[in-house]
Homo-oligomer: A and B are copies of this chain.
């Protein structure tokens, strides 16, 4: 009696995992649960809301709450700044600028970021090292229409990521993971064989509707991205 929302949540979870409330079946409504747990309805509500967020149950007004037939399994990944990713492992971080150029944005980039016909972009290629070993290759494009200040920023000492985080505190992003082969240039930078399989992250970010940057991050071969849930 007098359960906390954590206890209620745990108990409901338990009943689901134990099979007492089968997948697809209807769960008692908030009022009934509140009574049976001897707590307020808001407490049950919070427990249920969190379970719904976690993808375990499905709630619909009037229709009630049911256990999801196939729980939506979702994983959450932290996307850290490379610097912290490396330093958190206890390794020493080093940054280096490989190349810098101001170009017209190529077609694929204009398409991807919905840029105008002759949009100018700053193209940077950088490397991030952990204890002196190549860790991540960064191939970045910055939209100069939206971020003209980038033209004058100095990217020889610190990476564009840190500059961007400081300049644009928050933005929406589209991120995608894939596998690719290291070409000659990448292989040289990452000190691996050309043709090695590499894990790549691509991220495009927008701020108030305008695309500001696109980046392709390529990790040294063997990199894994792990999480628990």
* A residues lining the B interface (CB < 8 Å): 13, 16-17, 19, 23, 55-56, 67, 70-81, 84, 165-166, 169-181, 195-200, 207, 221-229
Contacts and interface: CB of A to CB of B under 8 A. Distances in A.
A218 to B, nearest CB: 10
Given A179-B179, A229-B173, A75 B72 contact: no
Nearest to A176: B226
Contacts of A17: 169-171, 207
A70 B165 contact: yes
A177 B180 contact: no
B75 A77 contact: yes
B84 A73 contact: no
Contacts of A70: 81, 84, 165
Which 6 A-B residue pairs are closest in the complex by CB-CB distance? A179-B179, A176-B226, A179-B199, A179-B197, A73-B79, A197-B197
Contacts of A19: 169
B198 A195 contact: no
A219 to B, nearest CB: 8
Given A73-B79, A179-B197, A195-B195, 8 more contacts: A67-B169, A70-B81, A72-B80, A74-B77, A74-B79, A174-B227, A175-B228, A181-B196
Contacts of A173: 73, 228-229
A128 B8 CA distance: 39
